[in-house]
C-alpha cells in the first residue's frame, strides 16, 4: 500500500480537501493513544462501519494504528472494496509522536475537547456538587436535567434529576422551566454533555439562570453524595409546550453559525453530487426515528451527535444534512454546534416533502449469511463451543453459561474435538462475519445463534455474570469508563476528569482543531 509521512498527513489535515483518518485497532487500543482527528474503524467491524463512516469511495483515506500493521490490513481491504485513494501512515502513531506531533488518549476526543473549548469561550457557569446540594436543600425553584441517553441515566443519576438528552433540551425546556425564576441545572456523567447542554440553552437565549454540574455524577459521588439507580423520569412524548419559541431560538443560533436551510430539491442535488461526501442524519429520539424516517438518513440523536461525532462522521470538510422532520429546533441546534466544532458544511432540511417514510431501526449492511441455530437447538447441544462477540463489559454482565468472550479480529481456532461451534453477537451481522472467519479455522460445523444472547435469555435460560472475565487489561474492544473498572474506580474518576479539563491545552499544542472557525 502507498504510505504517507507524518509531515504529509499533517499538511493534509490543514488543507482544503476531504480527508478521513481511520484507525484500524480495536476501540480499547485506540483509546490508549491516537491522532486527534483519527476515527476508530476496528478490523473486527470494518464491513459494518467503513461504508457508513466513508460513504464516498473516492474520498482520500489514511489508515493508521499503533505500529502493529493493522492499518495495512484495513487499507488493503478498503482498496479491495473499491476505495480509490487509500494510503497508510508510515510508522503509525509512534512515528507521528516521533515527528513532534501530539497523540491523545480517550475516545470521542474532538467532541470532548470541544466541550472544554465551549466552556472557556462562552464562560459557562457551573456548580460544584456541594453547591448544588445546598441549592437543592434551599427550596428555591430549580430543575435538574440529565442530558445523557436514557440507558446511561438509568445506570446512575443525581437524586431528583429528570432525563432530557442534550439534543432535546432547547426543544423541551418549556415543559420543565416555563418561567424565568427557575434555576436550570444540567448534568451528565462527567463534563462534556453538562457543558454543552447548559450552553445550548444559553446560546438559544433561554432567560433563566442555567448552570452545569461540574464533573457530573462522577463529581457528585466523589464529593460523598449518593446517586440514584434505575430511575426512568423523562419528558412527555409528542410536541412540547413552547415548540414555536424553541424553533425561533434555535434558528437564531443556526444563522449566527452559518447553517444553511434547504428543501427537498436542494437535498436531491446534494445527493446526486458525487464529487463531495454528504452525510444524512436524523437527530430525533430513537422511538421517533423508528416510527418513521426519511430513506437514507441514519439515526444520530442530537446530543450524542455532538458528544461523539466520530461515531457518525469520519470525513473532514464533508457536507452534513440534518433533519428532525419539520420540528426544526433540534436539527438547527445540532447543526450550529457542528459548524463550530468541525468546519463542515452543514445544512438543515426543512420538512419531509412528500417522500414515503421508512419505519424500524437503521438498516444494517448486508453480509453473506452463515447457517443458523435456534435457542432450542443450542439448549439441546450441551457440548457446543459458544463464542460471544458482545462488548467485553456486556459479556461481564451476562452470557450463556460456558461461553467464551472473543473479538472477531483476534479469533483463534476453537479447541480440537468440539462437535459444534456457535457464534453469538448483539448484531447478527457481526456473528455471520465471524462465522465465515471461524469456518476457515476449524473442521467443526459453525452456526450463528438466531437472536443472539438476548433470545437465549428471552426463552427463560440462565445467564452467567462475572465482572472479572474478561479482566480490565483484556478489554481491547472497549475503552473502559471509570465505573466499568474492577478496582481503583475513584482514582480513575479523578484521572478522567483531570484529562477532560487538560484537553483544551493539549488541543492548543496540537493545533489542528480549529474550533469556532466558521
pLDDT at 489 over 90: yes
Instruction: Answer yes or no: do 94 and 200 share one domain.
Output: no
Written as nine digits, the cell of 269 is 442535488
Q: What is the pLDDT of residues 463-472, one digit of tens each?
A: 999 999 999 9
* Section 131-135 average pLDDT: 98
Q: With respect to residue 329, please indicate whether it lies within any of the assigned structural domains.
A: yes
End-to-end C-alpha distance for the chain, whole angstroms: 35
CA 394, CA 399: separation in Å to the nearest integer?
8
pLDDT at 448 over 80: yes
What integer pLDDT is reported at residue 354 of this predicted model? 72
Instruction: Answer yes or no: do 286 and 381 share one domain.
Output: no
Q: With respect to residue 40, please indicate whether it lies within any of the assigned structural domains.
A: yes
Q: Helix 428-439 vs helix 46-53: angle between axes, to the nearest 10 degrees?
A: 130
Q: Which of 349, 382, 402 delimits the end of a domain?
A: 349
What integer pLDDT is reported at residue 67 of this predicted model? 96
What integer pLDDT is reported at residue 326 of this predicted model? 78
Instruction: Answer yes or no: do 277 and 340 share one domain.
Output: yes
Centroid of chain to Cα 230: 22
What integer pLDDT is reported at residue 364 of this predicted model? 85
What integer pLDDT is reported at residue 352 of this predicted model? 72
pLDDT tier at 411 (50, 70, 90 boundaries)?
Answer: very high
Residue 346: strand, helix, or coil: strand
Domain that holds residue 294: 250-349
pLDDT at 385 over 80: yes
CA 457, CA 464: separation in Å to the nearest integer?
11
The residues near 494 (Cβ < 8 Å, ≥ 6 apart) are 222
What integer pLDDT is reported at residue 334 of this predicted model? 98
Q: Rounding to the nearest 10 degrees, give the CA dihedral for residues 161, 166, 170, 171.
A: -90
Pair 301, 322: CB distance under 8 Å = no
Instruction: Answer yes or no: do 311 and 281 share one domain.
Output: yes
* Section 276-300 average pLDDT: 96
Written as nine digits, the cell of 106 is 480517550
Instruction: Tell me the percentage of the chain whose pLDDT exceeds 70.
Output: 100
For residues 518 and 358, which has the higher predicted lDDT (pLDDT)?
A: 358
Q: With respect to residue 478, please indicate whether it lies within any of the assigned structural domains.
A: no
Q: pTM, whole model, 2 decimals?
A: 0.96
Pair 330, 350: CB distance under 8 Å = no
What integer pLDDT is reported at residue 199 of this predicted model? 98
What total of structural domains would you count in the chain? 4
Q: With respect to residue 503, please indicate whether it lies within any of the assigned structural domains.
A: no
For residue 512, cis peptide bond before it (omega within 30 degrees of 0):
no
Q: Which of 470, 485, 507 delimits the end of a domain?
A: 470
Pair 113, 503: CB distance under 8 Å = yes
pLDDT at 261 over 90: yes
Q: With respect to residue 487, please indicate whether it lies within any of the assigned structural domains.
A: no
Which helix (H) or strand (E) is 446 found in, with range? strand 446-449
Instruction: Answer yes or no: do 440 and 337 share one domain.
Output: no
The sign of the CA dihedral 387, 388, 389, 393 is negative
- CATH code of 193's domain: 3.40.250.10
CA 396, CA 403: separation in Å to the nearest integer?
11
What integer pLDDT is reported at residue 363 of this predicted model? 87
What integer pLDDT is reported at residue 165 of this predicted model? 98
Q: What is the pLDDT of residues 70-87, one digit of tens each?
A: 999 999 999 999 999 999
Instruction: Answer yes or no: do 326 and 378 share one domain.
Output: no
Instruction: Answer yes or no: do 40 and 83 share one domain.
Output: yes
With CA atoms as reference, report the closest residue to 225 among 283, 159, 135. Answer: 159
CA 255, CA 258: separation in Å to the nearest integer?
5
Pair 32, 121: CB distance under 8 Å = no
Q: Which of 349, 380, 409 delimits the end of a domain?
A: 349
CA 506, CA 504: separation in Å to the nearest integer?
6
Instruction: Answer yes or no: do 267 and 222 share one domain.
Output: no
Instruction: Answer yes or no: do 326 and 418 share one domain.
Output: no
Instruction: Answer yes or no: do 343 and 284 share one domain.
Output: yes
What integer pLDDT is reported at residue 365 of this predicted model? 86
CA 389, CA 380: separation in Å to the nearest integer?
22
What integer pLDDT is reported at residue 351 of this predicted model? 80
Amino acid at each position: 500500500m502507498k504510505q504517507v509521512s507524518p509531515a504529509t498527513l499533517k499538511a493534509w489535515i490543514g488543507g482544503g480537501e476531504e480527508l478521513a483518518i481511520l484507525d484500524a485497532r480495536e476501540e480499547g487500543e485506540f483509546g490508549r493513544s491516537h491522532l486527534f482527528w483519527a476515527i476508530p474503524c476496528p478490523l473486527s467491524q470494518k464491513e459494518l462501519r467503513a461504508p457508513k463512516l466513508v460513504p464516498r469511495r473516492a474520498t482520500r483515506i489514511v489508515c493508521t494504528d499503533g505500529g502493529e500493521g493493522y492499518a495495512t490490513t484495513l487499507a488493503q481491504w478498503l482498496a479491495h472494496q473499491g476505495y480509490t485513494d487509500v494510503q497508510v501512515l508510515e510508522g503509525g502513531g509512534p512515528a507521528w509522536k516521533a515527528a513532534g506531533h501530539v497523540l491523545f488518549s480517550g475516545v470521542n476526543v474532538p467532541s470532548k475537547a470541544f466541550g472544554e473549548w465551549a466552556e472557556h469561550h462562552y464562560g459557562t457557569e457551573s456548580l460544584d456538587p456541594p453547591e448544588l446540594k445546598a441549592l437543592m436543600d434551599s427550596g428555591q425553584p430549580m430543575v435538574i436535567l440529565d442530558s445523557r441517553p436514557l440507558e446511561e441515566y438509568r445506570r446512575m443519576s443525581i437524586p431528583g434529576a429528570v432525563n432530557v438528552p442534550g439534543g432535546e433540551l432547547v426543544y423541551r425546556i418549556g415543559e420543565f422551566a416555563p418561567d424565568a425564576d427557575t434555576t436550570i441545572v444540567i448534568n451528565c456523567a462527567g463534563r462534556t454533555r453538562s457543558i454543552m447542554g447548559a450552553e445550548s440553552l444559553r446560546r438559544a437565549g433561554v432567560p433563566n439562570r442555567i448552570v452545569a454540574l461540574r464533573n457530573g455524577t462522577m463529581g457528585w459521588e466523589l464529593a460523598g453524595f449518593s446517586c440514584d439507580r434505575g430511575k426512568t423520569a423523562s419528558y412527555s412524548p409528542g410536541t412540547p409546550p413552547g415548540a414555536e419559541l424553541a424553533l425561533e431560538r434555535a434558528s437564531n443560533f443556526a444563522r449566527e453559525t452559518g447553517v444553511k436551510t434547504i428543501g427537498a430539491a436542494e437535498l436531491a442535488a446534494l445527493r446526486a453530487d458525487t464529487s463531495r461526501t454528504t452525510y444524512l442524519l436524523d437527530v430525533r429520539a430513537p422511538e421517533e426515528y423508528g416510527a418513521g424516517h426519511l430513506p437514507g438518513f441514519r439515526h444520530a440523536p442530537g446530543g450524542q451527535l455532538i458528544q461523539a461525532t466520530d461515531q457518525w462522521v469520519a470525513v473532514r470538510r464533508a457536507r452534513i444534512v440534518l433533519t428532525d422532520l419539520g420540528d426544526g429546533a433540534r436539527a438547527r441546534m445540532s447543526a450550529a454546534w457542528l459548524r463550530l466544532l468541525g468546519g463542515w458544511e452543514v445544512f438543515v432540511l426543512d420538512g419531509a416533502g412528500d417522500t414515503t417514510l421508512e419505519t424500524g431501526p437503521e438498516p444494517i449492511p448486508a453480509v453473506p449469511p452463515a447457517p443458523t441455530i435456534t435457542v432450542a437447538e443450542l439448549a439441546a447441544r450441551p457440548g457446543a463451543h459458544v463464542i460471544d462477540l458482545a462488548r467485553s463489559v456486556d459479556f461481564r454482565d451476562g452470557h450463556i453459561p460456558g461461553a467464551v468472550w472473543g473479538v472477531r479480529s483476534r479469533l483463534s481456532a476453537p479447541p480440537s474435538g468440539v462437535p459444534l461451534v456457535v457464534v453469538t453477537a448483539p448484531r447478527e451481522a457481526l456473528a455471520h462475519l465471524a462465522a465465515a472467519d471461524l469456518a476457515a479455522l476449524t473442521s467443526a460445523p459453525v452456526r450463528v445463534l438466531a437472536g443472539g444472547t438476548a433470545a437465549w435469555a428471552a426463552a427463560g435460560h440462565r445467564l452467567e455474570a462475572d465482572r472479572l472475565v474478561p479482566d480490565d487489561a483484556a478489554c481491547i474492544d472497549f475503552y473502559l469508563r471509570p465505573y466499568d473498572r474492577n478496582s481503583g474506580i475513584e482514582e480513575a474518576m479523578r484521572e478522567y476528569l483531570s484529562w477532560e479539563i487538560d484537553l483544551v491545552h493539549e488541543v492548543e499544542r496540537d493545533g489542528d482543531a480549529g474550533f469556532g472557525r466558521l
